[in-house]
């Protein structure tokens, strides 16, 4: 399953594009089923986060609620990022949300990045 929480550039997406934190909060508050879906899925499945800084307070809040409710028993989840991430942040995400950070070099050819990512996930 693929979830895109911040909109896209399709015809429908242009009408529903989320531009600010306030817009996003309005969507999250209005759409209780989305919150419940995220809670349920994060407790039963692994997530692969792509194209995010993982600084979204709402998403991390949901993961935190689920983790506390299950005594830390969520994930494992994975974050694929080209950004350099501090060891402190990597440890925080691992300890609090069971998110393993996988760094990739965006200058590498696509096939090589996929191979390295696949190796890191094993």
The answer to whether residue 112 sits within a structural domain is yes
- Residue 28 in this model has a pLDDT that exceeds 90: no
The answer to whether residue 49 sits within a structural domain is yes
Alpha carbon dihedral 83, 91, 7, 66, in 10-degree steps, equals: 170
For 78-93, give one letter per residue: b (16+ CB within 10 A) or e.
Answer: bbbbeeebeeeeeeeb
The answer to whether residue 1 sits within a structural domain is no
Q: Could you list the residue range(s) of the whole structural domain that residue 47 is in?
A: 11-121
| 77: its two tokens | 């989840």
Question: What's residue 19's pLDDT?
Answer: 56
The answer to whether residue 3 sits within a structural domain is no
pTM to 2 decimal places: 0.71
| 102: its two tokens | 């996988």
For residue 42, the tally of other CB atoms under 10 A from its CB is 22
The least confident of 25-34, 72-81, 92-101 is 25-34
Number of structural domains found in the chain: 1
Question: What's residue 90's pLDDT?
Answer: 95
The answer to whether residue 29 sits within a structural domain is yes
């Amino acid at each position: 399953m693929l979830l895109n929480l911040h909109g896209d550039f399709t015809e429908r997406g242009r009408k529903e594009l989320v531009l600010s934190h306030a817009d996003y909060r309005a969507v999250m508050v209005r759409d209780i089923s989305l919150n419940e879906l995220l809670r349920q899925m994060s407790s039963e499945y692994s997530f692969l986060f792509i194209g995010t800084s993982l600084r979204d307070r709402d998403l991390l809040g949901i993961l935190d609620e689920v983790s506390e409710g299950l005594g830390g028993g969520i994930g494992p989840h994975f974050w694929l990022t080209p950004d350099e991430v501090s060891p402190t942040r990597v440890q925080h995400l691992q300890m609090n949300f069971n998110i393993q950070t996988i760094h990739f070099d965006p200058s590498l050819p696509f096939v090589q990045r996929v191979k390295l990512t696949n190796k890191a996930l094993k």
